[in-house]
Amino acid sequence: VQRSHPVCFLYFTKAQCFVILIVIKTCKKMGIQTVAVHSDVDANAVHVKMADEAVCVGPAPTSKSYLNMDAIMNAIRVTGAEAVHPGYGFLSENKEFAKRLAAEGVTFIGPDTHAIQAMGDKIESKLIAKAAKVNVIPGFDGVVKTAEEAVKIAQDTGYPVMIKASAGGGGKGMRIAWNDEETREGFRFSSQEAASSFGDDRLLIEKYIDNPRHIEIQVLADQHGNALWLNERECSVQRRNQKVVEEAPSTFLDPVTRQAMGEQAVQLAKAVKYSSAGTVEFLVDSKKNFYFLEMNTRLQVEHPITECITGLDLVEQMIRVANGYQLQHKQEDIPINGWAIETRVYAEDPYKSFGLPSVGWLSQYQEPLNLAYVRVDSGIQEGSDISIYYDPMISKLITYGATRAEALARMEDALDNYVVRGVTHNISLLREIITHPRFISGDISTNFLPDIYPNGFKGHELEVDERRELLASAAALYITTQLRSQRVLGNLRASTTPMECRHWELCLELGEECHAVEVTKSGNVCTVEIDGVRLEVKGQWNLASPLLPLTINGTNRMLQCLSRDASGRIVLQYLGTLFKVRVLSKLAAKLNSYMPEKVPEDTSSILRSPMPGTVVAVSVKPGDTVAEGQEICVIEAMKMQNSLTASKQAKVKNVHCKPGETVGEGDLLIELD
């Protein structure tokens, strides 16, 4: 890679923009020019503006743009790019793409086609791992062709089993089956997702290791036979087989197990003559037995936490290796300095299956970069659009500390200071995870979320003192707002306006509860009495800022006010979760008791879309009788297919959707009698 020539970086999904920005920053540091490719809907994306050049490669659907090799190869020819960094996306592990680059004399910043093919196919990679004396999971090593064949293999292997796409990654095309019926259903959905995401519907089946840890080893190898393992990353906290929180190092591994895993990862890399950065993923049981899961022949989303504890720039290392340089380090040079945590901030509703996609326009966006030892890898900015076409990840939020406790405390602060408006996001779930006693103690597995929240995530459950803090904050904010509305340029709005009141009696509604509150104000301090307990709320009260830093009885809290209106309704983000509080005067509260209550909609007779997406299949028609739990239709969102079922036995009255249609969250799909 010569400094005087451009390098073309490919951007496949919204998640890809993160790594592309990192690559562009590294290239700027190395004096290398960059070219970005984009779909028409991403013409204003951050990576497009940051690169030296940009080329549109087609419309929004990935098959017509980011997976369109002809269009991408044409962009490379037009710009004269000498090398391609493929990011995290689909083509990053596509051997045909790597072959086409080689035929054009363009350097692929990644491994050669042999390694991509060998490790990209889960069936072949498992056989190679066996030959390289790497521990593997028991199961069927061939391709599963039919649902009935899948059932027979599952029965022979022994339930539970994992059905997975041979060419898969990122949790797509993966299903756990505990019986024959789930195997048939898993085969259908996994093959459809695999075909949609990877253009390859082949599946394999292996024994599902119940309650394991997901721990991966970062490897780095050059073209001269040198290979290193750069310690591990713990990625056990997941939903739908997709990672949510990662950390490096792991709380679970001891030096002996770490070295054994690292050495096996290097053995595998050398077995396929691997060169570049890559990741070997393992499942680890409670006795620290570890089993090869897969190898990702690309940069991982969670690579920043490895960079934090080792001090290495993995993108720079990839570029050096691609240019033929030998590794600069020996195994004994690789340190573990401190601790790093990464949380994946998604445009998702965490109250629906721990995260169903949300779409929208980022009306307000502010990253917590004012805090020390905080890194945010994002590809969006205020005004960006989160669409149905690409991955709903907003950013990767990384914090670093000398100890794990320090890194976690910084992550807590970073999440509280992160402002995201316009889409539903998962910050509430992320904050609950990193502050949960089980996570803090390191007692985690891939079943962490369903174990902790067996009935689904409900947000932060307020303790008595926390409830009082929230109510006191809402009361103080309400009074501050009322006082500000009386003034213009610091003066009372009219001479007839009475002098400021210093004492207020209010009623605060939170959920089904109503609390009588007394407030007095002096300067920036509001004294609030709730249930006989006095709380002192102090703050600068900048009502134009989305962040509301307060001190409540000496404890510093960062709240966010999402909305407030003239009727006293206030939405506050407190301890990561959104709470709706209504503040009323005593008279207004008395009159409000006479207002009729809104009758909630009977949702047992209708089916609404739980997320924005595309209707893949409709299994019923008007007049059909459906049983409770029977599949009615399938919605695909961000390449994940979701089966929607009937909540009761009934007759289908009306069908309001058809395959191929795009639907929004809450759209009416089916009516039942």
Any idea which residues carry the catalytic annotation?
298
Q: What gap in Å lies between CA 428 and CA 345, rounded to an integer? A: 10
Q: Is 581 helix (H, G, I), strand (E, B) or coil?
A: strand
70 is written with which tokens? 């002809």
Structure tokens at 607: 């089916």
Query: What is the rounded (10 degree) CA torsion for 79, 82, 88, 89?
Result: 50
With contact defined as beta carbons under 8 Å apart, do 387 and 637 qualify?
A: no
209 three-class SS: coil
SS3 content of the chain, % helix, strand, coil (to 5): 30, 35, 35
Annotate 298-317 with three-state secondary structure. CCCCCHHHHHHHHCCCHHHH
Distances (CA, A) of 312 to 218, 221, 317, 530: 12, 14, 8, 53
230: part of which helix (H) or strand (E)?
A: strand 227-239
DSSP secondary structure letter of residue 22: H
Residue (of 359, 377, 358) closest to 367 by Cα position: 377
Hey, CA dihedral for 99, 100, 105, 111, is it positive or negative? negative
- Residue closest to 417 by CA, chosen among 551, 559, 541, 543: 559
**Could you give the CA distance from residue 421 to residue 416 in angstroms, rounded to a whole number?**
14
C-alpha to C-alpha distance for 75 and 168, rounded to whole angstroms: 27
Residues 52, 57, 60: CA angle, nearest 5 degrees: 115
- The Cα 466–Cα 457 span in angstroms is 19
Beta bridge partners of 608: 668
Tokens 């045909």 appear where? 96
Gap between the Cα atoms of 445 and 449, Å rounded: 9
Helix axes 122-131, 255-271, angle to 10 degrees: 110
What's the farthest any 2 CA atoms get from each other in the chain? 89
Measuring CA to CA, which residue among 216, 187, 215 is closest to residue 202?
187
Is-contact 244 215, C-beta < 8 A? no
CA distance 166 to 20: 26
What one-letter code names the amino acid at 590? K
Q: Dihedral through CA 317, CA 318, CA 320, CA 321, nearest 10?
A: 110
Burial (CB count within 10 angstroms: exposed 0-12, middle 13-18, buried 19+), residue 453? middle
Q: What one-character-per-residue DSSP string does 486-503 give?
A: TEETTEES-TTSPPPPSE
Ramachandran angles phi, psi of 253, nearest 5°: -80, 140
Alpha carbon 99 to its chain centroid, in Å, reads 32
- The whole-angstrom separation of Cα 276 and Cα 298 is 8
Tokens 């920005």 label which residue?
21
Task: Return the number of other C-beta atoms located less than 10 Å from residue 155's C-beta.
Answer: 13
